Structure 1
Amino acid sequence: MKRIANLYVAELRPSREWLTLRRLLAINVSLLVVFVVAWVVAQVVVSQQQSTSIELGNTTTAVEAQLQQRQSELDNALNDPELNNALAETQQVFVLRQRLLEQMQQFTQQNQQNYSQLLIDLAAADQEAIWLQRIYVNDNALSLEGHTLQPQQLPSWLASFSGYTSLQQRPFGVFELRDEGEQGLRFVVGHTQDSRIMSSTAGGSNP
């Protein structure tokens, strides 16, 4: 029968110190290296920031100088009498043209409305015995050219104009009557102030 006796006593085990001189030196060297690297990086960053700040300052100074120069040029230009006179004339011309354009638009719109109403009234006063072939409007003077197989209807047709707004204020007269056989009677009637224009136009259209 075997028996084992433990003759190793824990109290007699040799002790080892964790913090030795070598470890302490290694820790110090590591910390020194970290501090040096951090210092170098900080110096590089500071140097870059300083360079950027200097560049921004130079750019800002240049921009301010350009702005001052442009402001000085603008002040000199605004104080130029010739330029001010030219601007005043241009503004006056613009205002006059604007007024002229507004008047032309109003005049055109009014003429379009009057012409539309004129066509509506002529259509309402239409008679089967009379057919129109041409309508002349010259400076608000109206002249009409057409044919009829019943000439006796012309007076009543002209008299019916008094019932329409665009026709009742126009003094109509007969400019020309011509018998064209089977085609009936050719007539030209219209505003008395437009008689010469209509007569020359009607005469020029005849063979």
Structure 2
Amino acid sequence: MIQQVNLYKPEFRPSQQRITANNVALMAVVLLVVMLVAGGWFQYRAAGLEQAVQAEQAGNDQVRQSIERMNTEIDGRRPDPQLEQAVERVTDTLSRRQRLLERVERLANNRSEGFAAPMAALARQVPQDLWLTGLRLQQDRVSLQGQTRAGSLVPVYLERLGEEPAFAGQVFGRFELTRSDEHPWIEFRVATRRDEEASQ
């Protein structure tokens, strides 16, 4: 005898769910809430980023102002062109004197030892704006000639020479100053008394 058993119960049948207006409204509300929360979060992040950008911009402005202030200070510390020219003139004068001293010392070393000390003393005591153009050393006789910007520098030079041991006891008795119309320099000629006597 065959018996049929129905195992397919109605509760096992797939149910069809229908979308209702309430479900649609609920989903719309949930989606709106999610969008509002996301929008608020993005707006909050944007506000934070804007503050960070403003802070960075303020920092950049401060750095720019500091650079401009330092540039102004650097411009203010640049040396005066006239002062630079004066320093160049003094440096040039010192360089020329050093070369003259070295040349005189070389000449003095090449000649007899008797002329080394007077020649070195002559070069060492030359004041600024005074140049020797001629020199005669003969035992204890000395004659000098040169040019200067101011006639008062010649006595200064002679006084300095009198302080040198090589010229101790020397008395300059001949003293001539002349000025030419062709150039602004004053030419001078000095000599010891014996030189003056020998030339007479």
Higher helix share: 1
- Is TM (by shorter chain) over 0.5? no
Task: Please report the TM-score for the alignment, with normalisation by the length of structure 1.
Answer: 0.38
With structure 2 as the length reference, what TM-score do the two structures score?
0.39
Structure number with bigger Rg: 1
